[in-house]
Amino acid sequence: MSKNKIVKPSTLPGFMELLPEEQILMNFMRDTIRKNYEKFGFVPIDTPVIEKSEILFAKGGGDTEKQIFEIKRDKNDQALRFDLTVPLAKYVALNASHLTFPFKRYQIGKVFRGERNQKGRFREFYQCDIDIIGNEVLDIANDAQIPSIIYSTFKDLGFDKFTIRINNRKLLNGFFEYLEIEDKAMVLRTVDKIEKIGADKVKEELMNEGVLESKCDEILNFINIKGTNEEILKGLTNLNIENENFNIGLNELDEVCKYIDAFGVPASNYQIDLTIARGLDYYTGTVYETILDEYKNIGSVCSGGRYDNLAGYYTKQKLPGVGISIGLTRLFYQLREAKILKDPTTKTLTKVLVVPMDEDKKYSIEVASKLREAGIISQVYFDSGKLKKKLNYANKLGIKYVIIIGEEEKETGILTLKDMEYSNEFKLCVGDIIEKIK
């Protein structure tokens, strides 16, 4: 092999590849998300990474199409999925007759987007999605359950201070209908800047866009409704806006808030926020964002909402749904950058390293097997060398316990257990070691 030309090893830019100690943390996060999704009764699906282009782009065009990773192979036009929503729509349309509705599925998998190369932007990243899909109808109480799943998940991820922001698109749309504003997107975009640039600037920009001053005031008045959720709901009611969509939306928001309490989400962790809108042409009812209170600049770490029809491009069956997505790769990256993720104290999952002191490793192997049978992750150090080198291996990996096995230990069955953290030693039999470690 030494005669080969050496290819310099590298990983493509924009692709996350972690060291094992980081990967252990990442997996902990992924497992935590999965466990929470399952706890609420969602079932797994695992659609292919590669799909037909006609499926991926049934909706047509847009930025996503420019970011696509196309496959050069076969006659079929194929590409890598850019989200898990389009594959879900295809899946439900394809398998509808085998599914039981409401269909509650989760999917955790990699998606691909040819983002411009810049720090914190990934071209391959994990999305962790849940959706509840109804057949023709889907009760509003489902919208109230979503925040409880977000709450439970982020609590388990170790966060206390986070806010699930909730709004309703019907309420927003109705409000704009009432004001007879056509370019809702522009208004939403402008209003979205209020935290950054302040109310006056927002008004100025709106007027520059041709919105009448009286309407600007009504808009600012609307998004200035603040307070507890109850106060906001009351404030919205007091606007006395005569518009059907507005009032349906208000009613939905009211229902959602009523049930969120029952789901056990503390009032401090959710908040009606009239400025959030999410994807403009997709969501049609409740929308969610989740903000880490102490790291607001990270932006939303979990977003989603209610939509009228999941799979209109693939089936005539009407499939309303509600769902959220956690962009895990980006979240992990941001938590690490913000030093919220603690540096790993261990590079391993191993609890015990068994170190044989002579050539006969049998006894050491048996000890490690017994520990594993008791559920303690253990490995034997097989390479020859001095004790110092062997202990160094445990130290480098952060393995907490080392068991040293020489002639005497084999004869007596009394083993030396070294606690590497506190560097003290115990003389114990295997059974007692298991007891002690557990």
Site for its own copies in 374-403 (CB under 8 A): 377-380, 382-384, 393, 396-397
Degrees (nearest 5) of the Cα angle 296, 263, 31? 60
Among 6, 63, 195, 242, contact with its own copies (rule: CB under 8 A): 6
The reply on whether position 39 binds its own copies by CB under 8 A is yes
- What are the residues whose beta carbons fall under 8 Å from the beta carbon of 103, sequence distance 6 or more? 92, 132, 133
Query: Among 1-9, 236-244, 297-305, 401-409, which window interacts with its own copies (CB under 8 A)?
Result: 1-9
User: Minimum distance between the CB of residue 14 and its own copies, rounded to whole angstroms?
Assistant: 9
The reply on whether position 4 binds its own copies by CB under 8 A is yes
Judged by CB under 8 A, the number of residues near its own copies is 109
User: Minimum distance between the CB of residue 354 and its own copies, rounded to whole angstroms?
Assistant: 10
Give dist(CA 66, CA 114) in Å, integer. 8
User: Minimum distance between the CB of residue 46 and its own copies, rounded to whole angstroms?
Assistant: 6
With left for phi above 0 and alpha for psi between -120 and 50, is residue 74 left, alpha or beta?
left
User: Minimum distance between the CB of residue 89 and its own copies, rounded to whole angstroms?
Assistant: 8
The reply on whether position 102 binds its own copies by CB under 8 A is yes
Give dist(CA 239, CA 250) in Å, integer. 11
| Locus of tokens 């309490």 | 261
User: Minimum distance between the CB of residue 313 and its own copies, rounded to whole angstroms?
Assistant: 6
The reply on whether position 73 binds its own copies by CB under 8 A is yes
Residues 324-353 that bind its own copies (CB under 8 A): 347-350
Among 19, 63, 195, 238, contact with its own copies (rule: CB under 8 A): 19
Complex with its own copies: residue 80 or 181, whichever CB lies closer: 80
Contact 322, 305 (CB under 8 A): yes
Degrees (nearest 5) of the Cα angle 302, 12, 338? 40
Question: Which of 387, 416, 383, 384 has its CA nearest to residue 401?
Answer: 416
List Cα–Cα distances, 394 to 133, 372, 418, in angstroms: 49, 17, 11
User: Minimum distance between the CB of residue 178 and its own copies, rounded to whole angstroms?
Assistant: 25
User: Minimum distance between the CB of residue 252 and its own copies, rounded to whole angstroms?
Assistant: 14
Give dist(CA 249, CA 373) in Å, integer. 57
| Locus of tokens 């044989």 | 356
Give dist(CA 151, CA 166) in Å, integer. 13
The reply on whether position 76 binds its own copies by CB under 8 A is yes
Residues 136-155 that bind its own copies (CB under 8 A): 137-139, 141-142, 144-145, 148, 152
The reply on whether position 41 binds its own copies by CB under 8 A is yes
Query: Among 172-180, 293-301, 363-371, 421-429, which window interacts with its own copies (CB under 8 A)?
Result: 363-371
Among 32, 33, 78, 181, contact with its own copies (rule: CB under 8 A): 78
Complex with its own copies: residue 180 or 383, whichever CB lies closer: 383
The reply on whether position 134 binds its own copies by CB under 8 A is yes
Residues 199-258 that bind its own copies (CB under 8 A): 258
The reply on whether position 27 binds its own copies by CB under 8 A is yes
Contact 331, 25 (CB under 8 A): no
Among 64, 65, 83, 94, contact with its own copies (rule: CB under 8 A): 94
Q: What values do phi and psi take at 394, rounded to 5?
A: -65, -45
The reply on whether position 46 binds its own copies by CB under 8 A is yes
C-alpha dihedral sign at 34, 38, 43, 327: negative
Among 61, 63, 75, 100, contact with its own copies (rule: CB under 8 A): 100
Complex with its own copies: residue 1 or 195, whichever CB lies closer: 1
**What's the distance, Cα to Cα, between the start and end of the chain in Å?**
47
Among 228, 268, 369, 412, contact with its own copies (rule: CB under 8 A): 369
Residues 247-286 that bind its own copies (CB under 8 A): 258-259, 261-264
Give dist(CA 284, CA 305) in Å, integer. 8
Complex with its own copies: residue 205 or 409, whichever CB lies closer: 409
The reply on whether position 164 binds its own copies by CB under 8 A is no
The distance from CA 123 to its chain's CA centroid, rounded to whole angstroms, is 16
Contact 307, 320 (CB under 8 A): yes
Residues 292-311 that bind its own copies (CB under 8 A): 308-309, 311
Give dist(CA 184, CA 176) in Å, integer. 7
The reply on whether position 290 binds its own copies by CB under 8 A is no
User: Minimum distance between the CB of residue 348 and its own copies, rounded to whole angstroms?
Assistant: 6
DSSP 315-362: -SS---EEEEEEEHHHHHHHHHHTT-SPPPS-S-S--EEEEESSS--H
